[in-house]
Each structure stands twice: as C-alpha cells, then as structure tokens.
Structure 1
C-alpha cells in the first residue's frame, strides 16, 4: 500500500468515526469516551477470534467469510481511531514497530 492510499484510509476512517459521534450525541447526548471506544475495539477483536474459530470449524457457528472480513476491516478502523484519539501518528507507530521487529531478525 502506498503512502497516499494509507493517508486516504486514515482520513476516511476518521470521517466515519465523526459520523458515529454525531449519532452518539443524538441517541445518548454525548460522544463515546476514549474508554468506550477501546471497549468497542476489544469486543470486535474478540469477535475476530470467534470468527476465526468458526472459519476453522472449531466454533459451533455457521462459517461466514463475509463476517470475518468485515470484522478484520473494522478492527483496523478501530486502531486508526484509537491512535487518533490518543494523539499517536499511526503511520509513524507502524513504521517504528516494523523497523524494530525487522531488526530483531537481522
């Protein structure tokens, strides 16, 4: 993925999150807190685990590749949102992680 494409993904992600914030204000009077966003992410991360188990026929649920695909995408979206809300540049964080990890294998 090139840099411009990743920037576009980040921008689209943050725009969608802002739209959800507007819905939260309509329905609950306030936006979700950072903690509520983190809990929602952890819930979706758990659902990735269940969908993987289903995919491997290790969970008694009809396998749904579409649901797994959706949850994997949603988890990336949440990571972008959480990075933004904590003031972390996700591109820089990912670059640092990749470089540090690659150096472990040199």
Structure 2
C-alpha cells in the first residue's frame, strides 16, 4: 500500500492525539476563566478566523499585502494552528479525522488516476 492509499493515518493519528491534548489544556483554562468551555460554533469561528488570516499571510508572502511580522514564521504557525482546529472540530463533531482523511485521499487519488489513464495525460 502506497502513502496515498494509506492516507498517512499513523502520522495523522499522532497529530490528532496531540491536538486533543492541547485542546484539553485550553478547556481547563476556559473552565477557570469562563466557567465553561467553548461551544462547537465558537470553535468554528476561531478556525475560520485563523484560516482567513492564512489568506492574508499568503498575500503577504507574495508581496501583495503588507503585514508587519515575520511572514514565514507566522504562516508556519497559522497553518499548523488551522490543522489543530480541524482535529479539534472533527473530534467535537464525531469525525475520525485520520480515517476520513485516508479514505478521502484514496478516493480522490483513484479518481485522478482514472482520469489520467483515460486522457493519456
């Protein structure tokens, strides 16, 4: 089984576990400060906020948007944070992200391979 077929599940499972450990720390802090933890909609807004910022950072990396920061470092941070949000949201919504990713990538790869074979590309 090649890497696309396996979907990198082992690495994703480890990343997923780490993401949930970090989320548990945030929940402890939220409970202390807010006397509750963030809701799923609040988590989704946090994700979309960071994802939008990635767009601005990409523009900055291409020199079409001026941002006063170390763009490369901030882009690395925000991309990693967006991946963290995906794991957290998947967990809250009952989605096994490593499995879903592996299945989705295998399906997409198979479709692309069929198309390439059919078109002779």
What is the TM-score with the length of structure 2 in the denominator? 0.81
Q: Which of residues 89, 96, 104 in structure 1 aligns to 2:103?
A: 96
Report the number of matched residues: 106
CA offsets per residue over residues 17-68 of structure 1, 9 Å max, x none? 0100111111111000011001100000001000000000010224510000
Q: Name segments (4+ residues, structure 1) moved above 3 Å.
A: 1-5
Structure 2 counterparts to residues 24-63 of structure 1, below 5 A = 24-62=30-68
CA drift at 1:3: 4.0
Residue 27 (structure 2) pairs with residue 21 (structure 1): yes
Cα RMSD (Å) of the superposition?
1.5
Match of 1:75 in 2: 82
- Whether 1:11 and 2:17 are equivalent positions in the alignment is yes
Deviation at 1:103, TM superposition (A): 2.4
How far 1:102 sits from its partner (Å)? 1.3
**Highest CA radius of gyration, 1 or 2?**
2
- Return 5+ residue gaps in structure 1 as ranges: none
Tell me if the contact between 2:47 and 2:82 (Cα under 8 Å) persists in the aligned partners.
yes
Whose relative contact order is higher, 1 or 2, with alpha carbons under 8 Å and at least 6 apart?
2
Post-superposition offset of 1:92:
1.3
